[in-house]
Structure 1
Amino acid sequence: MTSPARTSPVPRALLAAALLVGATAVAVPGQAVAATPTFDRIVLSPTATPATSAIVTWRTATAAASPGVELQPADGGPVTTVTATPTGQAGGGHYHRADLDALTPDTAYRYRIGDGTEWSDWIDFRTAGAAGDPFTFLYLGDIQNDITEGAAPLVRAAQADASDAELTVHAGDLINNADADDEWAEWFAAVDVAHTSTTHQIATPGNHEYDGWNLSDHWTRQFPGAGNGPDDDDLDGTAWYTDYQGVRFVSLNSNYTNAPWFDVVDWLEDQETWLDGVLADNPNRWTVVTFHQPVISNSEGRTGALVRAAWLDVLEDHDVDLVLQGHDHSYGRGNLTANRTDDPAVTTGPVYVVSVAGPKMYTPSTTDWRLAGAEVRTQLGDTQTYQVVDVTADTLTYRAKTQDGTVVDAFTVHRGADGKRVVEN
């Protein structure tokens, strides 16, 4: 679609003022947790073209002599050996990456990881199909604290409920302390290798993945991104997009804590320009954008003014379907009041969601929604949720659920000959 003309980039004074509000993450490295078994923290990540390629990353306790992957169709056939690239160390472990290319769309494959001596068990995954083919994805807000006892039960309930999900979107703050290897071990245990190694993971970083202005060494070794983001080394593995069966998923990096304000201005403006181009040149019917700090804050004492000033116009101009966020440790879903219709159950334009999967909670507030010219449709405090989104050629059906499966929010986005409608369920 053609975007309406927008004003020039956000005034730097406004961005500088917005920096005064926000939480600070202080990294406290935890004890390193050795790789057990030989290959662990296996992650399947999408490329820009997940119908024909994929990325596999993993960790070993020691440097591997000949790291690689064996790949073949799940129903049998020739085995292809893919040489892996060592990507460095984090938390005492050695990380590796293998790029699986020249794959057939909508096809079941299996792969196993080797180090020159040992091999993992075979792991199954499927390449993306054609645009319009139905699929399901999960969306999880901050896990962050009390991972094993407080967050893991909800994550496992989500995976059991949506066992056919082909992707999972993580909206940042997966852990609490950026370089705490024991917390990363808890996260991988909670999410489970049976999920991370078979289901594409779309992860965007939160402020707790940073130590000051330094992204955790764990991040890009585990979540490399598709490599098609802005021309900015600081954004590698954090701003990128993938096209999956008719949906363009875009990860942005909204982190601004602990950074010099003039760096943040450039950081956000670079992404604003890049995002505008990515959305203008989008061949897909649907668009889902995810980042950590919301454009409209959902909790008391917080503001999304900084991110809102940089990106809201772009999201609205291109009529993004879902904007999936975290950071505020409460649940909220709404839209700009300008997107109301005569029917109170129907809106148009982007849907903005904030959710939290872990047990850390803040008090919800409507203040920033009003300041943004927006309205809350559903708002909850003290409520851990996971979100299941079913995608077809014509609809996105969204459900937010608690651990016991209770639906606490639901809507459907319709696209048809009469345009786009967001209908309350």
Structure 2
Amino acid sequence: MKKLLSLILVVCMSALLFIPASINAAEQTSYQLGASVNPDHITLTWTDNPMTTQTITWRTSTTVNKGIVQYAKETDKDKFPENAKSVNATKKEFTSDLGKMNLHIANIEGLEPGATYIYRVGDGINWSDIHTFTTEAQNTQQFKFLVFGDSQSGNPYDPEYGPWKKTIQNAFKANPDARFFVNVGDLVEWGQYYVHWNNWFDAAKGVIDTIPAMPTQGNHETYNPPDWHTTKPVFWTTQFPLPQNGPQGLKGQTYSFDYGNAHIVMLDSQEEEEKTVAGDILEAQKTWLENDLKNTNKTWKLVFFHKTPYYSKATRTNEDIKKAFQSIFDKYHVDVVFNGHDHSVARTYPIYGDKFVDSPSKGTIYYITGRSGNKYYPDLSQKVWNAFFYDPQDQPNYLVVEVNGNKLTINAVKQDGTLIDTYTIDKATGKDTPQTVIPPKYNNTRLVIYGNVLQQPFMSIGPQKIDGKWYVPVRAFVEYLGGTVTWKGNNKVDLVYGKDTVQIAQKDITATLNGKKITLPDVILNIKGNTMISADDLNTLFGFTYKYDESTNMLMFTK
């Protein structure tokens, strides 16, 4: 009998081992929509002037067809709701993967600048708790707002937003005078998978119904289950009513607004994800951005978008975004560009024309905002353009941006309140604190790949300029990138990098690329026993672009 039981146990355990891998957590978990007659997901945004208007959005089940906001000045709270004014909301039916719900959107107008109001939302029978909001004061020169990096869960099948909850709640508790907050994209893991939004809004409750959220989208807002295919960020644009002053086809995704003496611009950087459904969105935004920046006279110009022109990841670049927008930032002197995507806390030197400059009065600071949620990366590093870098693997973080007349201060803070970085720009003096000290010019030309300087033992010989052409040691270049270099004798060398296999030979201008013979721009050289390949050859073979920075004596490659 014992042998029989043992045999049955073995058979059962073996069967468990062969359960198909396709049966995953998403297929085993059934999520509920959660919408009811009681209002939830109450969200403040602005669609118009922050001094005199307030937009409020909330969710109910489809059985609720009426939406009302009751509001009054906080000084009259003892008589609320008897003395309340009312605004009717517009109903919008929203269909998600978990079912249908109604969104109710109300825009209150004619408010008094610099006043705090109490409000509640409902249908006349079922009401929310009482919340507050505060309008912008006239002639505001001093204010504070919060910035949150990517808050996504990191796993589409595990909608974990506990870290995001702790980050936003701690940030607001430490900064109750913040006037609004910004998310720089990747709010959720799968943009069209509603359980993530349920958990995201639940985590932000108590903050998002008290100060406005003015977000920009990330690539994850375009993703759809179960195969990660991309679409327009439908769930994102539906749930966040935002200014409609952006370019045609991108209204609500690209927009700008003023607060105090700052002009704030939100751009859409998801060219790769949206091009099949929206065309060339970078080109569409360039003319709009130029006109927008040209027509502001605000002291501070701040721009937010998700993907990083100056990145922290090992090899993930966004050169197309830099090419599209940087010259416009330079022309109108954008003070700070805030990004997400890489989950690092990183601050560049002031940059103008893709070169380091010694003062923020001469260029733009690019600031990667870290992570406010669960996900972090193992391949981040400080790059040559970083004046400051921190990898927040230990815990999430947030930024506090304080504007005080001609001064702007950015504080990067860990979830537990520990200060990571502080940086101040003073427009009155043209100086910053800590003061910018750009890298010195190297005596010998340095090879830089994806923002990282190669040194010994990778480099037995540095870049060489020969007859006006830049050459680099092929072994150091390819092996640094994880490829292989094999000496075959008779001056022949085999290279394997990614999906490409290349055969080259010293003193030869031809090569074989994936079995096809091609002519290179330049001859392969032998310098002091090192096989040297030109920068133009690397472009032909592997698609790398390069530039030489004379001020630092660095030869920089990217793709």
For the aligned pair, the TM-score class normalised by the smaller chain equals: 0.7 to 0.9
In 2: Cα distance, 1:403 partner to 1:129 partner? 30
Matched, 1:247 2:224: no
Match of residue 144 from structure 2: 136
- 363, 388, 399: which one pairs with 1:378? 388
Shift of 1:262: 10
- 273, 297, 307: which one pairs with 2:321? 307
Question: TM-score of the superposition, structure 2-length normalised?
Answer: 0.65
Q: Contact 1:53/1:102 (CA < 8 Å) preserved in 2?
A: yes
Listed as ranges, the gaps of 5+ residues in structure 2 are 1-25, 155-159, 224-228, 436-559
Aligned length in residues: 384
Q: Contact 1:348/1:421 (CA < 8 Å) preserved in 2?
A: no
Q: Contact 1:132/1:392 (CA < 8 Å) preserved in 2?
A: no
1:13-24 aligned within 5 A? none
1:221-240 aligned within 5 A? 221-232=238-249, 235-240=250-255
Q: Contact 1:48/1:243 (CA < 8 Å) preserved in 2?
A: no
Output one character per residue of 1:309-339: Cα deviation in whole Å (capped at 9) or x when no partner: 1001111221112211111122211132745
Match of residue 7 from structure 1: none
Output one character per residue of 1:339-364: Cα deviation in whole Å (capped at 9) or x when no partner: 532x8xx7742211112222322222
In 2: Cα distance, 1:80 partner to 1:217 partner? 33
Match of residue 237 from structure 2: 220
Match of residue 92 from structure 2: 87
Match of residue 15 from structure 1: none
Matched, 1:74 2:77: no
Shift of 1:43: 0.7
When residues 262 and 158 of structure 1 are mapped into structure 2, their CA distance, relative to the original with a 3 A threshold, is closer
What residue identity is the alignment partner of 1:209? E
| More deviation, 139-148/174-183 | 139-148
In 1: Cα distance, 2:131 partner to 2:116 partner? 11
In 2: Cα distance, 1:422 partner to 1:110 partner? 40
Output one character per residue of 1:35-94: Cα deviation in whole Å (capped at 9) or x when no partner: 367111111002341101121111002242321211222212853221111122143321
Match of residue 380 from structure 2: 364
In 1: Cα distance, 2:66 partner to 2:199 partner? 28
Output one character per residue of 1:139-172: Cα deviation in whole Å (capped at 9) or x when no partner: 0000101643433322222122112211111000
When residues 224 and 198 of structure 1 are mapped into structure 2, their CA distance, relative to the original with a 3 A threshold, is same
Q: Contact 1:130/1:246 (CA < 8 Å) preserved in 2?
A: no
In 2: Cα distance, 1:122 partner to 1:279 partner? 38
What percentage of residue pairs aligned between the two structures are identical? 29
Match of residue 58 from structure 1: 58
When residues 42 and 236 of structure 1 are mapped into structure 2, their CA distance, relative to the original with a 3 A threshold, is same
Alignment root-mean-square deviation, CA: 2.4
| More deviation, 329-338/390-399 | 329-338
Match of residue 318 from structure 1: 332
Shift of 1:300: 1.0
Match of residue 23 from structure 1: none
In 1: Cα distance, 2:95 partner to 2:426 partner? 44
Listed as ranges, the gaps of 5+ residues in structure 1 are 1-26
Larger RCO of the pair (alpha carbons < 8 Å, separation 6+): 1
Match of residue 43 from structure 1: 43
1:182-193 aligned within 5 A? 182-192=195-205
In 2: Cα distance, 1:37 partner to 1:168 partner? 28
What secondary structure sits across from 1:257 in the alignment? helix
When residues 393 and 294 of structure 1 are mapped into structure 2, their CA distance, relative to the original with a 3 A threshold, is same
- 261, 270, 273: which one pairs with 1:258? 273
What residue identity is the alignment partner of 1:117? I
Q: Contact 1:145/1:175 (CA < 8 Å) preserved in 2?
A: yes
Q: Contact 2:347/2:366 (CA < 8 Å) preserved in 1?
A: yes
Structure number with greater Rg is 2
Question: TM-score of the superposition, structure 1-length normalised?
Answer: 0.84
**Poorly superposed stretches of 4+, deviation over 6 Å:** 27-30
Match of residue 432 from structure 2: 422
In 2: Cα distance, 1:291 partner to 1:353 partner? 11
Match of residue 7 from structure 2: none
- 177, 181, 190: which one pairs with 2:194? 181
When residues 121 and 263 of structure 1 are mapped into structure 2, their CA distance, relative to the original with a 3 A threshold, is closer
